[in-house]
A and B are shown apart, each in its own frame.
Chain A
């Protein structure tokens, strides 16, 4: 076999393999590129999941079940199904967040500082739900280094907010180098004080795409508490009636 033949075979082999190669290997690891892939990895045309939120503090653990439905980068509807919070809903779109309390049949629009309130007594605030899939629009990324964290090789991005309309002026995000899913997120106040830490684990496949099946959240302003989200059932790219992201459905 001559050199030309060997070259042809190698090129053909590369061409055949290339579609299966991870996109990560094909792109230069720029900070902006990684951030774009992070947003994309967490955005689905539609997503429906059933999950349990476990809130642990010094008194023990409380569990709350909910159903999460999402569309694109902005729209999310959460409906609690456990007895104590049954029927309560949270609707979020790109601009606003609404709560629905079925007992009073009352819709409440959360704005401003009220978004910092804890969601169902957890370590998660309502504003933590906003902007997690649109970081590229709101933050300027800086690539720090590549390191292994929780057994996963990850890029560390430091994000500085472009606008004041975000929950945290600074974030550190460890992005899985293979899946571009978040591995860990640390959110800071303007003073540099660490406010919140999120760890992501239990990667599984949903609709052919990797998905973090477990998220552990710690509010660093509280002592001895943590909130764990366990996604029991995930469906992606399933038909979801667009009307569920409306005020009518929220108050249904």
Chain B
């Protein structure tokens, strides 16, 4: 129940803040360059929105151990890129129609989802790799050459994000109990993470 309330609050805040920010954007522009709210929605829709695919995955896993989301959202590069290109061309056409019709387009704005784009309006794109990570990665590029056929994109990681793919599996506590028994019945340990307390059972 609480998660539903959280979702509802979040949705309300998203909608409200999006509308206010959009209105403010309009007021910041000179009067001759101000756009109508519909035009602004089109413009926002054309901005890249890298977080959309991840948001779908997260939402799905909130509610279920695993999901069939992967079948709904194509996983291959070709399909995804194709979909994006289709989306862009659709938006471009409707905006052109809008200009030609001098503001009389009907319903085109409903074909895009500006809400998530509104959140990111004043945020810089998140940096992807830290300088230390970039530096360290230079020592591992041979892995790409030898073992990686094709880079896995973020939107292809739905299956990797499933709990069953985590090292501890769908019931992580079982590993903890088992580890406790093994360290008390055998003389060796290590390789399963460093967190944890000591035990006289050793």
Question: Are A and B bound to each other?
Answer: no
A residues near B (Cβ < 8 Å) are: none
